[in-house]
Amino acid sequence: MRSDYSGVQVTALVALRFAIGWHFFYEGVAKAVNAYWTSAGYLDQSQGFLSEWFVDLASNPGTLAVVDVLNVWGLILVGLGLMLGGLTRTATFFGIIMLALYYLATPPWPGFVYTIPSEGAYLIINKTFIELCALFVTLFFPTGHIVGLDRLLRLARGKGTVQESSA
């Protein structure tokens, strides 16, 4: 198949994908190595239409343990997928779901006040939302098959080499 991205476009898209992957991966690793980390405080201050569900998750030690493990390993695997460009679409898809959950847990909508202070001023759009949008770009402008393990997977599956435009 052909890729019609220019060299600059490929570089920019891979850089975006890689940066988001790095962010996911390190967030996951930092939580994994901290024995005291828990999502309880974050879930507890949830507001908006899903807040009851999030608070429910936090209030039961059993479900909270599952949520914590899923979150940590979700972050690490999505991060690795995006950085390595392997199973990129799957990683992007789950990354979008995770970001959507983070966004909906504490949406910066008018009328909601949070006890954990944010480091900036946000109205409706926050950095989570922007990262979510960036992942949509990654989903629809994929690069894993150009720079990434998906290139090998594609070849192994016999789906053809990648011809890049010389422009």
The contact pattern for other proteins, residues 35-74, with x = CB under 8 A and - = no contact, is -x-x-xx-xx-------x--xx-xxxx--xx--x------
Q: What's the N-to-C CA distance of the chain in angstroms?
A: 17
Overall size of the chain counted in residues: 167
- Written as one letter, the residue type at 3 is S
Q: Which of 27, 39, 37, 38 is nearest to 76 (CA)?
A: 27
Q: Which of 96, 104, 82 is nearest to 133 (CA)?
A: 96
Residue 96 binding other proteins, by CB under 8 A = no
Give backbone dihedrals phi and psi of 164, rounded to 5 degrees, phi first. -100, 145
Residue choice 20, 91, 99, 132 for contact with other proteins (CB under 8 A) = 91
Residue 116 binding other proteins, by CB under 8 A = no
Q: Which residues bind other proteins (CB under 8 A)?
A: 1-5, 9, 14, 18, 22, 25-26, 29-30, 33, 36, 38, 40-41, 43-44, 52, 55-56, 58-61, 64-65, 68, 77, 80-81, 83-85, 87, 89-91, 93-94, 139-142, 145-153, 155-163
